[in-house]
Amino acid sequence: EKDGHDWFMRKEIFEQPRAVADSLIGRRTTAGLLALDEMRLADEEIRDLDKIIIIACGTSFYAGMVAKYAIEHWTRTPVEVELASEFRYRDPIVDQTTLVVAISQSGETADTLQAIRHAKSQRARVLAICNTNGSSIPRESDAVIYTHAGPEIGVASTKGFLTQLVACYLLALYVAQVKGTRYGDEIDEIMVQLEAMPDHIATVLEQAESVYELARAHVGTRSVLFLGRHAGYPVALEGALKLKELAYLHAEGFAAGELKHGPIALIEDGLPVLCVVPPRGRDQLHGKMISGIQEVRARGALTICLAEEGDRKIEPYADHLIRLPQVPVLLQPLVAIVPLQLFACELATALGHDVDQPRNLAKSVTVE
């Protein structure tokens, strides 16, 4: 049942190329347009949208953070991302021109369910991104995009996260198509890039052994930091969450630009810092990330850098280098999170923890 793997989580990490491919199947019509069958919002409603609010918890929230970058860039529609548990309590400004997007793998998360009930009471339209057919959140939503990860058994979300990202990109492209903020050929080009992602993810998985080795070398580590920028920032947060929940280690993700505003004080000799380096295409981003990495390394950090193939500039500043395929910055989370999942899974295993059933956690959080 685990396909020869020791943990469901590890099996699910290796299923990600398939899960991403399945979540993309059937989304393009012969006319080249995007079709989202389960989306039940009229084009007119989409054209009238003033704002999108994404609500979710945990890993799903980080998928929402990535979605914000993609939706705003491709559709020019303002996006807020909010923790479901906070949403209701701040008297959010929501009306019929607001689309609330609830992201939930299980579809049963109580905080998220309560948040969409509140949004509906304020007349917002609600769209669910969900992996579980017929669960509460899609049932109570106006529209749904189902992800096709298949059942996720490991408590820590992996393929659930990747397929949520895919659904978010599809939603962004769909809104761009309906609103006319992107031309058909641009949308087509991004779809082609998305359709190449399963192979790219498989390429990253080929490096599993070297990531495992690195993870096992960190058995005595008490704290790990993660740095990212732009779409790599949520990846840093998600990488840190995986390590907390599985290895029970202190782990924190930071936006690299925030370093000098405080977190750099944490850097001490030998502290491992995992850095998600953006592709070189976005020059400013890349250069700024490198200077952040330089700063922490100068203060003794041990830098483990995830950087695209062919990036030579990072080499002098990386104690360890994990190569990522060359992909656009907005899609990079789909490949960049994979080594971080492998790292957390292997380190937790080496520490003797139950990876599939981490202490104190439940797969479905049905109480607020």
Enumerate the active-site residues: 363
Stretch in the footprint of ligand F6R (CB under 6 A) among 101-109, 117-125, 299-307, 316-324: 101-109
Residue with tokens 């505003």: 261
- Which of 13, 81, 156, 204 lies at the binding interface for ligand F6R (CB under 6 A)? 156
Query: Closest separation between CB of residue 236 and ligand F6R, Å?
Result: 15
Q: Where are the beta strands (DSSP E) in the chain?
A: 51-56, 79-83, 98-104, 125-130, 143-146, 223-228, 250-255, 272-276, 302-308, 320-324
Q: Rounded to an integer, what distance in angstroms lies between the CA atom of residue 213 and that of residue 346?
A: 9
Instruction: Kindly tell me which residue out of 202, 266, 267, 365 binds ligand F6R, with binding defined by CB under 6 A.
Output: 365
Instruction: For the chain, give the number of residues.
Output: 368
Asked whether position 58 contacts ligand F6R by CB under 6 A, the answer is yes
- DSSP output for 40-56: ---HHHHHT--EEEEEE
Q: How far is the CB of 130 from ligand F6R (least distance, A)?
A: 8
Minimum distance of ligand F6R from residue 85's CB (angstroms): 10
- What CA–CA distances, in Å, run from 97 to 11, 33, 61, 92, 273? 42, 24, 22, 13, 42
Smallest distance from the beta carbon of 145 to ligand F6R, in angstroms? 14
- Residue 136 interacts with ligand F6R (CB under 6 A): yes or no: no
Q: Which of residues 213-252 bind ligand F6R (CB under 6 A)?
A: 241, 245
Q: How far is the CB of 112 from ligand F6R (least distance, A)?
A: 5
Q: In a 10 Å sphere around its CB, with 0-12 CB exposed, 13-18 middle and 19+ buried, how is residue 17 labelled? A: buried
**Which residues make Cβ contacts (< 8 Å) with residue 224, sequence separation at least 6?**
218, 240, 243, 249, 250, 251, 271, 272, 273, 274
Q: Which of 104, 141, 303, 341 binds ligand F6R (CB under 6 A)?
A: 104
CA 36, CA 336: separation in Å to the nearest integer? 26
Q: Are 142 and 126 spatial neighbours (Cβ–Cβ below 8 Å)?
A: yes
Between 246 and 293, whose beta carbon lies closer to ligand F6R?
246
Of 346, 336, 305, the closest CA to residue 221 belongs to: 346
Per rule CB under 6 A, is residue 112 in the interface with ligand F6R?
A: yes
> Which CB sits closer to ligand F6R, 124 or 156?
156
Span near ligand F6R by CB under 6 A; candidates 15-23, 24-32, 39-47, 55-63: 55-63
The window from 33-41, 52-60, 173-181, 277-285 that contacts ligand F6R (CB under 6 A) reads: 52-60
Q: Give yes or no for residue 198 binding ligand F6R (CB under 6 A).
A: no
Q: Count residues contacting ligand F6R (CB under 6 A)? A: 14
Q: Which amino acid, one-letter code, is at 131? A: N
User: Of 60 and 77, which CB lies nearer to ligand F6R in the complex structure?
Assistant: 60
Closest to ligand F6R by CB, 298 or 362: 362
Q: Residue from 98, 106, 303, 349 that binds ligand F6R (CB under 6 A)?
A: 106
DSSP string spanning 128-190? EEESSTT-HHHHTSSEEEE-------SSS-SHHHHHHHHHHHHHHHHHHHHHTSS-HHHHHHH
What letter represents residue 352's amino acid? G
Q: Which is nearer to ligand F6R, 58 or 292 (CB)?
A: 58
Which residues of the chain form contacts with ligand F6R (CB under 6 A)? 57-60, 104-106, 109, 112, 156-157, 241, 245, 365
